[in-house]
Structure 1
Amino acid sequence: MFISFKSIRNLEYERGHSTDAPTANYIQVPGENSSVEKFSSCSRDASLIAFDKRKNPIFDGEYLLNNKSICCGPTPITAIVVVHTDPHHFGRRQNVRETYGSRELFLPTEIRVIFLLGRVKTLEMQNKVLRENSQYGDIIQGNFIDAYHNLTLKAVMGLHWVSNFCSKVKYVIKTDDDAIFDMWRFLKQFHAKNLYVSKTIYGISKSRDRILRSGKWGIDKTFFKGQKIYPFKFCIGFFLIYSSDVIPALYRESYVVPFLWLDDVYVTGMLRTAANGIEIVDRGGNLSIVPGSSTGFKCLQERGDECPYLAVGSNENIFHVMWELIMKRNHK
C-alpha cells in the first residue's frame, strides 16, 4: 500500500524543511515553572509510558515554544480548542482568543485554547511570535518549518501535546484559524446533555472518497498503489471534536503508521483505522458544520437561532459580525 516509511519520511522532511531564506537561531523556551503532574488535569496519559524510550519518527516532543501548564489547575477542563494557524495570522489568533477560545466568556465551564505553529524563516518573525507568546502564553511551536506540506507534523504535534500536557480534558476541539465556533451552543446542546461518547470523532466525514493524483491535494501513485478510492472513512480537518481518549490512541499509532502529508487523511483515516474502535460521527441537525463563510454568514444572519450550524468558515472581514450574530442567538 505504501512506499517505505523511511523513504517517504525523508522526502517530505527535505521538501518541507529546506529553504533558501536564512533561518533564525532559536532558543528552547521552557514552559511555566510548575510541575505538569501536580494536578490531574494536566497530567500525562499513562498509556504513553511504554513509549518513553522510543523516538516518534514524526514528532517526538521537540518544541521551540511550549506552555506546559495551560491545563494545570484544581478544576477539571471541559474542552481545549487546538487551533492550526499560520505564524503570520496574528489577527486570526486574536479573534479566537476574544471569542470561542476565551477562558472568561464561558465560566464556570473551563475552556482552554492553544495555537499550533511551526518554525519561521526569519528572526524578525520569530521575535513577533515570542512577544505574542509572552503576552498570552498559548503558543505551541514545533521545530519544523511551518509549511502546507508539513501539516501532518503539526497535527501529530497537537496529539503529542494534548496526550502529555492536557490528557484529562473531556473534549478536544480542533479547528483551523479561519473557523468560527458557537461554543455556547456546543456546551448547551452537547456537553450539558451529556452526549459524550468515548472513542469518537465528530466532524464532516468522507466515505469512498476519490484519491487525487494531481493538483493541490494530489498524492504520489506509490501511496495506495492501484487504488482509486480511499479504503477508509476520514474527516475534513477544518473542524473536529474528539473525545479526549482518542488523542493518545492516535498518537501511539503515529509511531508505526507511515507518513502522509495530507493531515486529515492521515490522522482521522490512517491513524484512526490503525487504532481500531474509533468511530466517526457525521454531524447533522443542530450540531452541523459548514466550511463556507458565505453559507454560514447567510444562515446566521437570516435564521438566527434556527440556523443549525455549530461551526462555519469565516474570514477576518466578517468574523466579528458573525460573532455578534452568534452572541445574539445565545443571549436573547
Structure 2
Amino acid sequence: MIPRHPLIFKVTTICATILLIGLLCYSRESTVIIRKEIVVTIPPYDFDDSYNDDGKPTTTTTDLPTSTTKRQMFIDGDALEYSIDQEKCADDRYLMIYIHSAPEHSERRRVIRNTWGSTQVLTKHKAKLIFIMGEVSDLNLQATLETESDLYKDIVQGNFTDTYRNLTYKAITGLRWVTENCPKAMYVLKTDDDIVVDIHRVVRLMRSYIENKWGKTNILGGYIWTHMNVDRNKSSKWYTSPDEFPEKYFLKYCSGSAYMMSYDVVKKFYLKSLEIPFFWVDDYYVTGMLAHGTNVTPTSLNDRYILENKANIPGLLKNDTKTRFVFVHSPNTSMSNLVWKNYLDRW
C-alpha cells in the first residue's frame, strides 16, 4: 500500500531509490570472454545388423543408435578487452613477469613491489612486472584499483568477473597481454601473488643453465604434478564433474604457483587457447592442455620450490646451503619479508 502521508511517502521513495541503486551496483556483471559456443556432433557407434531365420532384420530403425551433440565453449580473443591497461615492454626487456592477483589483494601487491618486484630489482635484471586481474562489482574497490594503477603502472584488468571459476580467463588475459606487448622478451615468468621469488637467482638460472641446456625456445619449466587425481568431492572448491572432465587423472602439468616459459611458448599457448575448448582449472588448462596441444613438454624444477603449507620455511632456507630454493609460497606478509631478507643475505 502506498503511504498517504507526504513525509512518509517522500522518505519511502528515497529509501526505495537508494535500495534500487544499491542492487544495481551489487548485481553489476562484467562481460564474459567466452563468446563462441560450438555444437559438436558425436557419431553413433558402429551397429551390426542381425537377422532371423527368415532373413529379416531382428531390429527396427528405432533400435538404431543415433548421433549425439555436445556444446563446447571456446575463448573468443576478439571479445577480450582491458578495463585497465599498461604500456608495452621496452625492447630491451629480458624477462617479463605477470602475476595472478585478486583485486582485493593490495597488501600482497605492496609486499611484492617492496621486495622482489621493486623497481630497483626489475631495472637491474631488465624485467617488467604486471598484475593480472578481473573486474569487480564493488565500485569503491574499482576506484581504488584505478588509483593504484595510476600510481604504480603495473595493473592489467581484463573484462571478466574476478572469481575462482574464472581463473582461466585470467590466465588467457596474461598470455595475450604478453604476446601482444612484450615480443622482445627472452623469458616469461608467471607467478601467483603469494609467491616470493629470488629473482636474482632465477635470472642467473636462466642465463647460466636454461639457455645452455634447454636453449631459448620451446621452454616450460616449473613444479610438475604427475598422475594428479581429478577432484570428485562435491564439497571441494576444486570439484570437477565428469561432464567437465571425464578422465580420472590429469595429464602432467605445472603448479600455477610459478612457472617459466620462453616467449615463443607464451605466444603458442595464447593462439592455441582459441582452438582448445575452455576448461576452468587454469593451471591444467595452460600447462597441461595447451602444452599438450602445442607439443611443449614441461621440465621439472621441483627442487627449486617450497610449496608445502606447513613447511618449516625458515629452517629449510637456513639449511639450503646450495641456495636452490628460489620459489617460496608465503602464508602472510611477515613470512614474505623474512624470506626476502634471507634471499638478500645470500646474494
Change (3 A) 1:170 1:293: farther
Asked if 1:325 corresponds to 2:342, the answer is: yes
**Which whole-Å deviations, capped at 9, do the CAs of 1:245-300 have from their partners, x for residues lacking one?**
10110111111211111001111111111112x12111045xx1122365362245
Asked if 1:94 corresponds to 2:110, the answer is: yes
The residue number in structure 1 matching 2:173 is: 157
Asked if 1:145 corresponds to 2:196, the answer is: no
The residue number in structure 2 matching 1:16 is: none
Q: What is the SS of the residue equivalent to 2:280?
A: coil
Within a 5 Å distance, the mapping from 1:7-156 to structure 2 comes to 21-23=26-28, 56-57=75-76, 60-69=79-88, 71-73=89-91, 76-105=92-121, 107-156=123-172
Counterpart pick for 2:239 among 218, 240, 246: 218
* C-alpha distance in 1 between matches for 2:312 and 2:200: 17
* C-alpha distance in 2 between matches for 1:176 and 1:296: 20
TM-score, with normalisation over the residues of structure 1?
Answer: 0.77
* C-alpha distance in 2 between matches for 1:281 and 1:25: 37
Please report how far the alpha carbon of residue 103 of structure 1 lies from its aligned counterpart in structure 2 after TM superposition. 3.3
Q: What is the SS of the residue equivalent to 1:323?
A: helix
* C-alpha distance in 2 between matches for 1:138 and 1:191: 25
**Which whole-Å deviations, capped at 9, do the CAs of 1:115-148 have from their partners, x for residues lacking one?**
0110011111111001000001110001111111
The residue number in structure 1 matching 2:271 is: 252
8 A Cα contact 1:213 1:220, kept in partner: yes
The residue number in structure 2 matching 1:313 is: 329
8 A Cα contact 1:296 1:313, kept in partner: no
The residue number in structure 2 matching 1:228 is: 248
* C-alpha distance in 2 between matches for 1:294 and 1:326: 20
Asked if 1:272 corresponds to 2:291, the answer is: yes
**Which whole-Å deviations, capped at 9, do the CAs of 1:28-69 have from their partners, x for residues lacking one?**
xxxxxxxxxxxxxxxxxxxxxxxxxxx942674311001132
Change (3 A) 1:159 1:201: same
* C-alpha distance in 2 between matches for 1:187 and 1:173: 10
Q: What is the SS of the residue equivalent to 1:150?
A: helix
Deviating above 6 A after TM superposition, structure 1's stretches of 4 or more consecutive aligned residues are none
8 A Cα contact 2:222 2:302, kept in partner: no
What is the letter of the counterpart of residue 310 of structure 1? Answer: V
Please report how far the alpha carbon of residue 94 of structure 1 lies from its aligned counterpart in structure 2 after TM superposition. 1.4
Counterpart pick for 2:219 among 189, 200, 222: 200
What is the letter of the counterpart of residue 130 of structure 2? Answer: I
8 A Cα contact 1:59 1:156, kept in partner: no
What is the letter of the counterpart of residue 249 of structure 2? Answer: I
Within a 5 Å distance, the mapping from 1:181-192 to structure 2 comes to 181-192=197-208
The residue number in structure 1 matching 2:300 is: 282
Is there any run of 5+ residues in structure 2 with no aligned partner, and where?
1-23, 32-73
* C-alpha distance in 1 between matches for 2:135 and 2:264: 29
8 A Cα contact 1:117 1:141, kept in partner: yes
Please report how far the alpha carbon of residue 242 of structure 1 lies from its aligned counterpart in structure 2 after TM superposition. 0.9
8 A Cα contact 2:102 2:162, kept in partner: yes
**Which whole-Å deviations, capped at 9, do the CAs of 1:187-246 have from their partners, x for residues lacking one?**
223324434532121111122221222222121111343x3222x211111111111110
What is the letter of the counterpart of residue 253 of structure 1? Answer: K
Identity %: 29
Shifted more, 240-249 versus 210-219: the winner is 210-219
TM-score, with normalisation over the residues of structure 2?
Answer: 0.74
8 A Cα contact 1:289 1:310, kept in partner: yes
* C-alpha distance in 2 between matches for 1:176 and 1:106: 17
The residue number in structure 2 matching 1:30 is: none
**Which whole-Å deviations, capped at 9, do the CAs of 1:71-93 have from their partners, x for residues lacking one?**
135xx211111110111111111
What is the letter of the counterpart of residue 241 of structure 2? Answer: D
Higher RCO structure (Cα 8 Å, ≥6 apart): 1
Q: What is the SS of the residue equivalent to 1:258?
A: coil
8 A Cα contact 2:25 2:138, kept in partner: no
What RMSD in Å do the two structures reach over aligned CA positions?
2.4
